Amino acid sequence: MATRLIQSGASASHTFNPARWLHSLVQIGGGYALASDKRLWLIVSECPADELTDVMSQVVGHPDRQEAVRLTIERRQNGELV
């Protein structure tokens, strides 16, 4: 699942990739979990603040992206390739 973001004041668009986003989170020392009630948990206590800001800014305020991340994790837990 991908969503598109049109940058304000720019004609270029950027495609959000939830699997790539999860990889970026892990690369900076973060982690994630999907609880049995399907609630998404992001572990960020060991992430450098400046890098965390860059990563989190891609999903904060974007419920469609948050749902795409949750679905990606759920699919991975179910053994699907994503």
Is the distance from CB of 68 to CB of 3 less than 8 angstroms? yes
pLDDT at 17: 97
Distance between CA atoms of residues 43 and 45, nearest Å: 6
Average pLDDT over all residues of the chain? 85
pLDDT digit string (tens) for 18-55? Answer: 999 999 999 999 999 999 898 999 999 999 999 999 99
Distance between CA atoms of residues 64 and 28, nearest Å: 23
Distance between CA atoms of residues 28 and 36, nearest Å: 26
pTM (2 decimals)?
0.78
Each domain of the chain, given as residue ranges in start order, spans 14-77
